[in-house]
Amino acid sequence: MNTIVIVGSSLAGLRAAETLRQEKFDGRIVMIGAEDRAPYDRPPLSKKVLSGEWDADRVTLRKPDDLATLNLEWKLGSPAVDLNTSERTVTLASGETIAFDGLIIATGGIVKRLPNQPTWRGVHTLRSLDDSLALREELADGRRVVVIGAGFIGLEVAATARGRGCEVTVLEGLEAPMIRGLGAEMGRNAALVHEDNGVGLRFGVRVSGLVEGEPGVVAGVALETGEVVPADVVLVGIGVAPSTDWLTTSGLTIRDGVVCDRTLNAGVRGVYAAGDVCRWHNDLYDREMRVEHWTTASEQGAAAARNLLAVARGEEPKPFVDVPFFWSDQFTARIQFVGRSEGGENATIVVGSPEERQFVALYEREGRLVAALGVSRPRQLMPFRKLIGERATMEQAMELVRSFVAT
């Protein structure tokens, strides 16, 4: 194993590179990144960078000196456009072709857009640092911001924009906020803080398009009913698709992500995937999943690197077994979620209450604890991550709850 190529120079890719060095791989590591920036962190882009509390340079994931010790060969600003698995080469948009012995695919996600989404002033999506800085420029006192999509990113932007004095309306097609992550009832409970802070939340509304005011400037969002919601700024927050376009002719199986086995191998010797782009078989839930959370991307980057080296050394690779975890900050609420809700579980509040804007809810399926939600209860939530990993029953989970009450 002489050359390992990592495509995607962000969280999962960086963690993979660091792990290769920690595991004593001293060959060539080539880091390919579409963005012309050193690896940076995305969660602050909808929070402290967007609010203006942080300067852009605070989001770098590692200091230049720490990156230098990794001895990586950087190829930034030119995306990979092709993977040839028989020749074992990656080709960049610049035309350069790089041969590899091992490959880690960590190309993350790209934001979804509205059909025929115009490029008018005032219309935004949010994935990159540049996106965040461009949106930040537009958030000023009294401006009317319309967020399309009440998922986590949309609601974080809503909270941050409101904090900057904007008038904010959120439009959601489904009947509740954060429904895919939390389910309808808990989504509603977790989003009460938006009503407290004067964000207008509208559910079951279908957007038909954007409305132009002055030429090239957005003036509103049109609904299927014919109503127009006036807007100076529109954030389209309708989700993320895995960044797999460059793999179309690679022969890898692509199905809403790069399909991998339980060890994150993509079906070709020495080729692994990690992070938002990776769809793998998670033994804990006995099913395939793709997760768009910071912690999973970080842990998968490290696991993919370890398994790549293990197989090259003739050792057994380890399954990547994950209890997904994410957090979201909206106004004063810190929302944390461990495990996985597919919809259809029974979710019960066991500590606190929505009225107090602080609670813990447990999600149960067939007697087993599958997920837990905490709103502004960080210390009480995290022990459930371990329990879920141990396939705990609801009875065992309730014992933990009783121990909170006792102390």
Ligand X SMILES: Cc1cc2nc3c(=O)[nH]c(=O)nc-3n(C[C@H](O)[C@H](O)[C@H](O)COP(=O)(O)OP(=O)(O)OC[C@H]3O[C@@H](n4cnc5c(N)ncnc54)[C@H](O)[C@@H]3O)c2cc1C
- Interacting residues toward ligand X by CB under 6 A: 7-13, 32-35, 42-43, 45-46, 79-80, 106-109, 126-127, 153, 243, 246, 275-276, 292-295, 297, 326-328
Report CA-CA distances (Å) from 6 to 15, 177, 275, 388.
Answer: 10, 36, 12, 32
**Structure token digits, residue 154:** 């949309």
Report in angstroms how near the CB of residue 382 gets to ligand X at its nearest. Answer: 14
Nearest distance from C-beta of residue 107 to ligand X, angstroms = 4
CB of 110 to ligand X, least distance (A): 7
CB of 130 to ligand X, least distance (A): 11
d(CA 177, CA 147): 12
208 or 295: CB nearest ligand X: 295
Which amino acid, one-letter code, is at 342? Answer: E
End-to-end CA distance of the chain: 54
Residue closer to ligand X by CB (options 11, 350) is 11
Side chain identity at residue 46, one-letter code: S
The residue among 148 and 400 lying less far from ligand X, judged by its C-beta, is 148
**SS3 state at 254:** strand
Q: Which is nearer to ligand X, 110 or 229 (CB)?
A: 110
For 267, left (φ over 0), alpha (ψ -120 to 50), or beta? left
Enter the tokens of residue 347: 């979710």
In whole angstroms, the minimum distance from the beta carbon of 170 to ligand X comes to: 16
Residue 366: CB minimum distance to ligand X, A: 27
Q: How far is CA 107 from CA 125, 289, 353, in A?
A: 18, 17, 40
Q: Which is nearer to ligand X, 253 or 353 (CB)?
A: 253
Cβ-based nearer residue to ligand X, 147 or 350: 147
Tokens of 255: 């199905």
Tokens at residue 258, please? 């790069």
> Which one, 52 or 204, has the nearer CB to ligand X?
52
What is each CA distance from 86 to 82, 99, 259, 269, 389, in whole angstroms?
A: 12, 11, 18, 10, 38
The one-letter code for the residue type at 148 is I
Identity of the residue, 89 or 393, whose beta carbon is nearer to ligand X in the bound complex: 89
The CA–CA distances, whole Å, from 42 to 150, 173, 185 equal 19, 26, 28
Cβ 246 to ligand X shortest distance, Å: 4
CB of 325 to ligand X, least distance (A): 7
Give CA torsion, residues 238, 157, 133, 327, to 10 deg: -90
Q: Return all residues near 334 (Cβ < 8 A) that are at least 6 apart.
A: 327, 328, 374, 375, 376, 378
Contact of 138 with 232, CB cutoff 8 Å: yes
Which is nearer to ligand X, 8 or 317 (by Cβ)? 8
The minimum distance between CB 289 and ligand X, in angstroms, equals: 13
